[in-house]
Structure formats: C-alpha cells, structure tokens
Amino acid sequence: MTAGNPFRIVDNTDTGPSMATISGPAPRISSLLIKPASAVCNLDCQYCFYLDRDADPYKDLSSRLMPIETLERLVDTFLFYSYPQSTFAFQGGEPTLAGVKFYKKLVEFQKRYGRDGQSVSNALQTNGVLIDKEWCDLFREYSWLIGLSIDGPEEINDLHRFNKAGHGTWKRVMQSLELMQKEKVDFNVLCVLSQANVHKPKEIYKFFKGLGVGYMQFIPLSEFYPDGTPMPFTVNAEEYGRFLCEIFDLWWPDRRSVRVRFLDNLAEAVAGQKPGSCTMHETCDSYVVVEYNGDVYPCDFFVEKHWKLGNLEMDSWQEIARRARRYNFAAKKTIAHPECQVCEYQSICHGGCPKSRHGQHRDFADLDWFCGAYKMIFAKAVGPLKKEVEKITGKSADLTPFHISPY
Ligand code: SF4
Ligand code: SF4
C-alpha cells in the first residue's frame, strides 16, 4: 500500500469545528516551518503567492509578529517532543522582520531547553534585504543554513522582485550574498522560475556557478486565476521539463561540487532513501507550519481555516500529530490520479504535490500541473543517477515496485 496510513479517513475538510484526534501511533512531526512574521513581507514581488490571498486567515491584520512567550513555548515543547533530533526552519513572508534579537532569544531557549545528546538544526529562508554583519555572525556561530531568494542576473531578478517603492532589489540582495560569502555563512540560492527565466537555464546556471554558489534550488511558479486560467508568469510542464533537462546536462560534469535540489532529491529516491523534498514523499505529513500566533497547519500552501490543526499554546504536539485533519490532508496524495496509477515513475514521484493538483480547479483531482516535466527529467536522469549510485555504493539501485491502494 502506498499510503502507509492504516486509518480510515473521514472527510472533515469543511469549515466545521472538527478537531477530532485519531487514536494509535501518529506519523511523527519531523520538522517545523515557522512563520514569525506570518505572510508579512518587506518586498512586493509581483508573483508572490502570499499577497492578497483570500484564504489567508490573518490577511486583515497589518502587524503580525510572534511574541517571545510563544517562541519560548514553541522551543520548550518541540525540543521535548522531537528529541533527539529537532529541526526549526523559518520562513515568511519575510522571517527577518522579526528582528535579530528574536533569533538570539531562540538560540538562548534552545540552549536552555535542549537535552544532552540532542541535535538541533536551524534554517532560514530570506529575501536578503535586511541581512547585515550581525545576522551573519549569528548564522555562522550556530551553523544555520540560509536560503537566499534571487532569480538570476539583475535584468531577470528585477522583472518581478520589487521593493515597496516598486524598485528592483537585485543590487541589495547581491550585497547580502557577497557579505554572507565573506562572513562564511552556509547558504544556498532559491530561484523562482517564471516566464522571465525558465527559457534561460544556461544563463541562470552559469550566473550562480560564477558566483561560487554550490547549492541551487529552482521553484517553478504555478498560479491561476479563479477560472483556472494560468497567470502570465506561470510556467507550464514542458517549459519546466526542458529547463530541468538542460540544467541536468550542465550540472552532470559538476555533480561532485554543485548541488541542485531537485536532482539531489531524485538521487536520494533512486538510492532508496527518503528524499528531502515533501513533493517526492508518499504522504504529506513530514512537517507542519507554525504561524506567528502559534496556530499550526499541515502545509505552507494550505494555511487556511479549515486545515488548522491546533495551537501550540493549547495543544500538545502529540495531539496535533493525531488530528483527523492531518490524516485527511496527508491522504490527499495517496488518492492517485489514473495516470499515476500506471506510471512507471510512481515509486519516485508519488503523484507530485497536491498543491499542483489543486491549484487550477481547487479539488485535488487534477494530475500534477508539472507531471509532464517530471516525466521528461525522470526519463533523462534516472538511468545515469542509478548508475552513479551503484558506482558510489557498490549496490544495485533498483526502484521499488509500486502498488496503489486508492481510498
Ligand atoms: S501539498 Fe505539496 S508542499 Fe504541501 S506537504 Fe504536500 S507535497 Fe509538500
Ligand atoms: S510523473 Fe506524472 S503520472 Fe507519473 S506519478 Fe508523477 S505526476 Fe503521476
């Protein structure tokens, strides 16, 4: 069975008050994605998925910052729950809006509440415009992993990534990138793929490589109008597939020194490991999102009232992990599209991301918007990656056979 979910799922995804829990062992919450400033941002990127989102439960509140008391409770309870390995990832909106003192407090709480033998890791995704030496000192001292958003060279980045005054942000972000390199902060770049850069894989790859960036992440845009028409900057499957295939060719000779997240995840899947990205997991239950006020949700794309799992001030992590809604959400991925049921790549792809199955018609029933892209890159890359894994490990990298059990 693909789901690994032995429970009968009751559909309670309406806006009713259901906070039912399910008895029995729950899949562990392995990491937190924390939004200390909620979806609030100091930039106005044109394609931002968070802006003016009707379903955002907090959209009418202009100021949203996590109180220190909420942060302390979060750290205390999650370190206890997740012992011996605890992962805290910060995202927004823009998480640096919480201020560097907020994160110094975080580290203080982690030291206070962590136990002997506990490994704690921190990561933060930022647009980079507030980063200065004080931030870099904190990131370096505690070995944080930083994700820096930049879409390529200036003329590409500044087509969509604006500040509040409507001006391009590339020059300021490049200052932060150079500062982080100088200060020896461990960082990767997150490049959003839109119509501005999806046709320029060579230019993008060479730009980042030329800067000495060793880890790249590409996120294709897929946003739609309410009638299901793609928004102008949205990337289609063929465009994304071609981009990934060209990146693969560029990356292959550099594969021991440069990392590309999608290809890393694919290599992990081919090697029989659990990939880092939830998109390639069997179910959507590896992490949860924590909002500025302690509210918890199953995924950053579904911070919506009817998916709320609880609040960390009132509920324990064990209770949150067992919410019926969490199972319902996790199971969305296991209801395989007919095309996935007969797909040779199902054991790697697991049907893609429910956000991309839901975006166009809002009912989770579509084939993943990027399915065509996945098939293109899998057809090109799985063979060579399999051989590479076998060469490194000395073991055969057979893909596990798949079997779908639709709910
Ligand atoms: S919906 Fe997509 S992004 Fe969200 S948890 Fe599932 S696979 Fe991950
Ligand atoms: S490649 Fe396409 S058909 Fe195959 S499992 Fe992924 S989404 Fe489904």
The pLDDT of residue 406 is above 70 = no
For the packed helices 100-113 and 133-141, what is the interaxial angle rounded to 10 degrees?
20
Q: What confidence tens digit (pLDDT) does each residue in 367-384 have?
A: 999 999 999 999 999 999
Cα-to-centroid distance, 128 and ligand 2 (Å): 35
Q: Which two tokens stand for residue 197?
A: 């850069």
A 10 A CB-CB count for 246 gives 17
Which ligand 1 atom is nearest residue 333's CA? 6
Residue 13 has pLDDT above 50, yes or no: no
Residue in 255, 274, 130 with CA at minimum distance from that of residue 205: 255
- Residue 260 in tokens: 């590309």
The pLDDT of residue 328 is 92
**Could you give the CA distance from residue 387 to residue 394 in angstroms, rounded to a whole number?**
10
Confidence (pTM): 0.90
Using an 8 Å Cβ cutoff, are 187 and 216 in contact? no
- Tokens found for residue 201: 């894989």
Distance 108 CA to ligand 1 centre (A): 31
Per residue in 131-168, pLDDT (tens digit) is 999 999 999 999 999 999 999 999 999 999 999 999 99
Instruction: Determine the average pLDDT of the residues in 34-50.
Output: 89
β-strand partners of 149: 190
Give the side-chain half-sphere CA count within 13 A for 307.
23
Quick check: is 186 catalytic?
no
Among 217, 301, 366, 371, name the best residue to mutate to test ligand 1's pocket (greatest count of ligand atoms within 8 A of Cβ). Answer: 301
Q: Whose CA is nearest to atom 5 of ligand 1?
A: 284
In Å, what is the CA distance from 50 to each residue of 46, 157, 230, 357?
11, 18, 16, 18
Compute, in angstroms, the gap from residue 215 CA to the centroid of ligand 1: 22
Among the listed residues 44, 56, 264, 300, the single catalytic one is: 300
**Spatial CA neighbour of 368 closest among 406, 338, 402:** 338
Euclidean distance between CA atoms 168 and 43, whole angstroms: 10
